[in-house]
Amino acid sequence: MISSYEYYHITEEQELMVESVREWCERNFTEEDVKEWCKNHRVPNEIYKSWTEAGFGLLGLPEEAGGITADSMTQVLVLEELQRCAGVQMPFLITMQCMNDLTHFGTKEQTEEIVHKYLKTGSANIVLALSEPNAGSDSQGMSSVVKQVGDKLILNGNKCWISNGTDAEYCIIVAKDDDPTRTNKSHSLWLIPMNLPGIDIVPAEKIGTHLIPFCDYYFTDVELKEEYRLGEKGKGFYNLMKNFETERLNVCANNLGLAQAAMDDAAAYVSQRSTFGKEIKNYQLIQEKLVRMEIKLQNLRSLLYKTAWENDHRMDVRLSTALLKHYCNEATTEVTDDALQIFGGIGYTKDTRVGRLWVDARGMAIGAGTSEVMVHIAGRILPKLYEK
């Protein structure tokens, strides 16, 4: 019988990578540590450093920036295993995503210092600020704008729900060029030092993903320099979109790991918990839950690996990632919810990690594209695909 890894053409190196991630987690932290980190809303600096030293934080970054060339499948496998072992939404993906955008669009002068620090410390000193109160996936609704005033470039606007934003030394933002109105389709990316006058950071509280602090940024007459611009003027959103598919793949890998962790815990718990004189694994209502959870996990894994494979083979994955993210949002929310239900009362306490898995998975069903936006993308492609 072939293993599923053979079926998915997963290489020996990729399998070793998964094993190493598991070993890294076992060597670096326990569930008690994770609980403590969640209370402090921080992963300790030495954990960031260790993740980068182990090379996992460098996967996918260009080699000339000190990264390790890795395909989507490898990145997906690493993230899935990390989340499965940690049982919490870890902040590394955000850092990797920012470094990815920075190294792709930035000049050597812009990136050198940040990349050097990242390689040395693994610390998240850069964040990506895209969403605004009235503009998420609807980029045209954005009102942050950089205007030329005399010989100065002035930024005004508001970005919200910025993951890891409170500790950042730099942020990448997308803002409209010159004119904030809806009809203006010219955006630029900017790499902004966070110590510039006119920037206010306001921490925001959220219901989950406690390892990733959240905040809003307010920019009031912030004076920028031309050298802060990342990439070409007017191509900001277009450039960012190039990485959306990869981001969605990675987010789905993250959430699959969380849902798998919920399954791991719930499937073990049914043999420990007895009601009315027998272990709850003997009740058909519980069995049905487990079966449905497993089907969703296997379906999601198939869809994820297939999309990663397509991405690695330079195929157009706009439809595949939209379908994947839509299914992932539903499946991981349902699997973690069923796991919580199996645990019953204790699942709603902080004595187990299933409540954390439930709320963290729910958060990422919104981030990187809601199901509704995925329908918006896939729904427009499908009729064309089936057109006779």
Residue listed under structure tokens 């510039």: 196
Under a CB-based contact definition with an 8 Å cutoff, are residues 212 and 89 in contact? Answer: yes
User: What is the contact mask toward another protein in residues 265 to 284, using x (rule: CB under 8 A)?
Assistant: --------------------
DSSP 59: B
Comparison of 78 and 354: residue with beta carbon closer to another protein: 78
Q: Which of 34, 38, 47, 59 binds another protein (CB under 8 A)?
A: 59
44, 68, 243, 371: which one contacts another protein (CB under 8 A)? 68
Contacting another protein (CB under 8 A), which of 53, 294, 330, 334?
53
Q: Under a CB-based contact definition with an 8 Å cutoff, are residues 145 and 179 in contact? A: yes
Residue 80 beta carbon to another protein: minimum distance, rounded to whole angstroms: 15
Using CB under 8 A as the binding rule, whether residue 309 contacts another protein is answered as no
Closer to another protein at the Cβ: 11 or 282?
Answer: 11
- Which residue in 2, 12, 278, 384 binds another protein (CB under 8 A)? 12
Helix 244-269 vs helix 92-105: crossing angle, to nearest 10: 170
Neighbours of 185 (CB within 10 A): 12
The structure tokens listed for 20 are 């190493």
Of these, 24, 37, 190, 269, which contacts another protein (CB under 8 A)? 24
Binder of another protein out of 33, 54, 62, 348 (CB under 8 A) = 54
Count of beta carbons in the 10 Å neighbourhood of residue 161: 18
- Of 126, 131, 205, the closest CA to residue 167 belongs to 126
Using CB under 8 A, which of the segments 56-64, 200-208, 280-288, 321-329 binds another protein?
Answer: 56-64
Q: Which residue in this structure is represented by tokens 């919920």? A: 262
Question: Is 166 near another protein (CB under 8 A)?
Answer: no
Nearest to 256 by CA among 297, 209, 317: 297
Residues that bind another protein (CB under 8 A): 11-13, 15-17, 19-20, 23-24, 27, 53-56, 58-59, 68-70, 78
